[in-house]
Structure 1
């Protein structure tokens, strides 16, 4: 009897070990699948398992950096949303009445990372609870030691280990390129266009929010109106270039320009589908065709 009992004990032990291993594998796969693919947590500890951005919200406010925000008095309204999403390094201090003072998540361009580094005490002190999503081209975000911006972010994450910093993968950037082409019929790279931070912000917001209210974005026809007023490109840089003048310069640049006006026509199309609302200044959602980019 003892000789028969031993193989059964071994079989039970083996079965338990196999079950534990299976549960571990499935749990690991589940953890990797949770969150939004294309947004990966920046890891400075190579022993840490990378994971995707797990950030979901019901009602989101997307706040533009445009001078259109000035004088609107929408600050308290913005802060009442479940999440407040801002772009690049647009500050809240001194502008609370118009833009609010809460920041849940910032989408930041690789070109704005140096500004983050120069204002570390504000962004990683006063806004310590903010999640950062950084996008940029492969040459700046590569992880083989040659990505200048990526290397700077790794140092930043080491200095502020509680900060949540995510980078947009190359595959996600290419996905955004395809969306631009599908919406306009134009290849982004061949047309000489660079997607704006606003474009990446809108796509991320559509993925993570149940509903989105956008503040401070003008519609695609605003600058063509003869009676449009002078508005600073950024609300925190009142003496700088006029917004419409900047938009026109980028729209017609042969290489390296953001197609701000074209992008806003895309947003209007998305708004007509219901999830996205362009509340201030108010838009009337329209279906747009695109003859040129």
Structure 2
């Protein structure tokens, strides 16, 4: 009897160990050899060369998609009432306040959008006090030895707009994001001939900063299959009408230079099962496949 009791205790102990170990593995987005350095993955672009990492935490965040799904949503007030508001690239608020709100706490910008930023700097930078800009790009453009073309432009902007917080995603953080993609999909991002989207980097940053995230205007991975005749534009602010689903399908299958938007949305659904992430306008069903 004593022997059976001892065996039972051993079985229970092993089961509990496996349960907790399994939970740890489930929550791990990347292998342990690549540490999650969080906000130390975002360094301020300082004209004086000082290393200064992003220090910002938010209880609740609104991540506003640039999708045409935002047109007619009428949720600008709801978005503006959130503690922190994330926007991407050059998505404007002026003229769209009723649908997308007016406040911008963080704007995540691709290296490819920097020329557009310079073109609209009077609107985006001169009126951006209180907004933090986070730029991402490959090392060849963001290197800090004088040969990084985009970094040099951002350094010049930082000198001119001293009241605007301008940060760069570090090389290590970009490598981390690549590893997250591979860990979630089983595919090497570079070997697939694709680039991570600004949305992907924004989601990672939001998870680093926010206790909870409300994503607005982003469709799920199956939306374009369900709504095969959708005429929703890719961006809510572009006059030239480019279909959202048409763009997603093209990028998902192009051999080189595309974003895997649909695959990324499948990853976001996985994250939402473990983090406090909700999707609105449209809402997502997060039942396990």
**In which range does the TM-score fall when normalised by the shorter chain?**
0.7 to 0.9
Tell me the distance in 1 between the aligned counterparts of 2:201 and 2:218: 15
Asked if the contact 2:128/2:164 (under 8 Å) is kept, the reply is no
The alpha carbon displacement at 1:238 in A equals 3.9
Aligned to 2:46: 43
Aligned length: 253
Aligned to 1:145: 146
The alpha carbon displacement at 1:43 in A equals 1.3
Tell me the distance in 1 between the aligned counterparts of 2:287 and 2:261: 17
Q: Unpaired runs of 5+ in structure 1? A: 1-33, 289-293
Aligned to 2:236: 235
Aligned to 1:202: 203
Q: Which digits, 9 at most, give the CA deviation of each residue in 1:34-67, with x for residues without a partner?
A: 9811100001113xx3111001100100000000
Tell me the distance in 2 between the aligned counterparts of 1:286 and 1:244: 23
The alpha carbon displacement at 1:256 in A equals 1.0
Worse-superposed segment, 55-64 or 115-124:
115-124
**Taking structure 2 as the reference length, what is the TM-score of the superposition?**
0.85
Aligned to 1:59: 60
Q: Which digits, 9 at most, give the CA deviation of each residue in 1:19-43, with x for residues without a partner?
A: xxxxxxxxxxxxxxx9811100001
Tell me the distance in 1 between the aligned counterparts of 2:238 and 2:246: 15
Tell me the distance in 1 between the aligned counterparts of 2:203 and 2:67: 15
Asked if the contact 2:135/2:168 (under 8 Å) is kept, the reply is yes
Asked if the contact 1:59/1:209 (under 8 Å) is kept, the reply is yes
Asked if the contact 1:138/1:170 (under 8 Å) is kept, the reply is yes
Tell me the distance in 2 between the aligned counterparts of 1:213 and 1:226: 23
Asked if the contact 1:35/1:54 (under 8 Å) is kept, the reply is no
Q: Which digits, 9 at most, give the CA deviation of each residue in 1:147-184, with x for residues without a partner?
A: 11000001111111111000001110000000000110
Tell me the distance in 2 between the aligned counterparts of 1:209 and 1:36: 11
The alpha carbon displacement at 1:268 in A equals 1.0
Aligned to 2:135: 134
Asked if the contact 1:61/1:81 (under 8 Å) is kept, the reply is yes
Q: Unpaired runs of 5+ in structure 2? A: 1-36
Aligned to 2:117: 116
C-alpha change, 1:124 and 1:226, in structure 2 (3 Å) is: closer
The alpha carbon displacement at 1:240 in A equals 2.5
Q: What SS does the aligned partner of 2:125 have? A: helix
Question: Structure 2 matches for 1:164-179, cutoff 5 A?
Answer: 164-179=165-180
Worse-superposed segment, 277-286 or 144-153:
277-286
**Taking structure 1 as the reference length, what is the TM-score of the superposition?**
0.84
* Structure whose CA Rg is larger: 1
Tell me the distance in 2 between the aligned counterparts of 1:227 and 1:43: 47
Aligned to 1:92: 93
The alpha carbon displacement at 1:246 in A equals 0.5
Tell me the distance in 2 between the aligned counterparts of 1:191 and 1:141: 23
